[in-house]
Amino acid sequence: MFVQTTTTPSRRGQVAAHADCIGPRCTLTAVEGFPFDIRASAGTERAAQRTARRALAAHEFLQRVLGVAPRVSLRVLDRVDWLRYAEDDWYGRPHVARDGDLVVGAQPADEWEDVGDYLARRLPARELATLISTHGAAATNPRAPSLGGLAEALIATEVARLFTVQQAVLFPSRWLEEAFASYVVIAVLADTDPSGLRLVGSLAEAARVLDDDLPTLSEFERGMSPMDAIADVLARLAIARSVYSAYAK
């Protein structure tokens, strides 16, 4: 459940042209203490450790429940290194690199601010106040919820996606694939981070009043364009809400 927008032009070529080394493994710092490889931008080791702990929890959940788990290697990047070593233009958007690394930002993806601003504009006052009480207010817009904690909690979703890619799992529909990823993140958070689970549940529930903005099922199945990022997020939240309710029961 991550956002995809096109709000900021890419500057990848400007930085890559001046990079002495374009291979991330020759310049990033190794983060020790985990059963898989982690490379991080200098100064982001603490963020990398938090991400790695969440990825490990998801890995262990899949191994325990399904008897198999994905091979995990992490690349955690600051903004400068993102332009050098990420394979997606938009900062912080998780993706799998050509060498199999799961690439994430050391800070939440910028697009989460767009989601927070949208919620500030569209949610009724009562729902918005509840959401800000749970998530805190965004530094850039005090009227919007801060979704950085939520973004960090969702790393289990990306490990679930990594699992489906490596195991060549083919879902008959996109919404079912999304439901699987939502189930993994909700189950992992319930087991390891109840406060993170509360963040996911609160946002999914708040978005209920915005269901009129949801894309149709056929639109969601086709895949939303970058310009339809908000609608895509709302659809994913609706799926997460259903999974959250089923898990609670």
Angle, vertex CA 86, rays to CA 152 and CA 48, nearest 5: 35
Read off the pLDDT band of 26 (50, 70, 90). low
Share of the chain above pLDDT 70, in %: 88
Domains along the sequence of the chain with CATH: 12-248 (1.10.390)
Question: For position 90, what pLDDT does the model report?
Answer: 86
Question: For position 8, what pLDDT does the model report?
Answer: 39
Does residue 227 carry a pLDDT above 70?
no
* HEC assignment per residue over 192-216: HCHHHHHHHHHHHHHHHHHHHHCCC
Question: For position 246, what pLDDT does the model report?
Answer: 85
In this structure, is the dihedral angle defined by the CA atoms of residues 43, 162, 114 and 138, taken in order, positive or negative?
A: negative
CB 93: neighbour CB atoms within 10 A? 19
Structural contact between residues 174 and 223, judged by C-beta atoms closer than 8 angstroms: yes
Structural contact between residues 145 and 136, judged by C-beta atoms closer than 8 angstroms: yes
Per-residue model confidence as pLDDT tens digits over 149-202: 999 999 999 999 999 999 999 999 989 999 999 999 999 999 999 999 999 999
Which residue's structure tokens are 């609608």? Answer: 231
Length of the chain: 249
| Cut 0.85: pTM above it | no
Per-residue model confidence as pLDDT tens digits over 42-82: 999 999 999 999 999 999 999 999 999 999 999 999 999 99
Q: Tokens for 189?
A: 């958070």
C-alpha separations of 7 from 10, 30, 188, 218, 241 in Å: 10, 32, 32, 25, 27
Question: For position 7, what pLDDT does the model report?
Answer: 37
Does residue 116 carry a pLDDT above 60?
yes
Average predicted confidence (pLDDT) for the chain? 86
C-alpha separations of 108 from 3, 133, 164, 211 in Å: 11, 20, 24, 25
